[in-house]
Amino acid sequence: MDRVLLRWISLFWLTAMVEGLQVTVPDKKKVAMLFQPTVLRCHFSTSSHQPAVVQWKFKSYCQDRMGESLGMSSTRAQSLSKRNLEWDPYLDCLDSRRTVRVVASKQGSTVTLGDFYRGREITIVHDADLQIGKLMWGDSGLYYCIITTPDDLEGKNEDSVELLVLE
């Protein structure tokens, strides 16, 4: 009986030690200047011994964020946001109501740019940081760092950062 109990305790302890895949983006919001370079940071930990696939996705705002930054936000969005403090009218909408595209993917040392971003100075550096050489107006939006490993399916495999490009 003691052996069975000891095995269960060992199994429970090992399970608690292995968290699975964990992805974090340290800066939830980043403001950067037009035509300047920027780096969007992404950190991950995994129990996998296989190489991870890193993918960065872009999602446009649900509605124009520049109006708010210039003090011209819509009163409808303000009233809805006040009623539900966790809902953001600029960030929270269905993907079918916004532009969604792959920015870049990295497998091993090979980085592949999405169709829309070919010809731009964009790459994935370090383990998973997205480096953009020259920001454009259309770069404002949400960026998702998504990590995939073949044998570590538990945990949190993505996180996001909001990028606002200003003149």
Segments of the chain assigned to CATH 2.60.40.10:
22-59+99-166
Share of the chain above pLDDT 70, in %: 76
- What is the mean predicted confidence (pLDDT) over 145-159? 91
- Amino acid in position 161: V
Q: Give, in order, the Cα–Cα distances in Å from 56 to each of 20, 25, 74, 98.
A: 20, 12, 30, 16
| Of the candidate ranges 73-82, 105-114, 135-144, the one whose mean pLDDT is the lowest | 73-82
The superfamily in CATH containing domain 22-59+99-166 is: Immunoglobulins (2.60.40.10)
The model's pTM: 0.78
pLDDT at 76 exceeding the cut of 70 = no
Contact 94, 55 (CB under 8 A): no
pLDDT at 21 exceeding the cut of 80 = yes
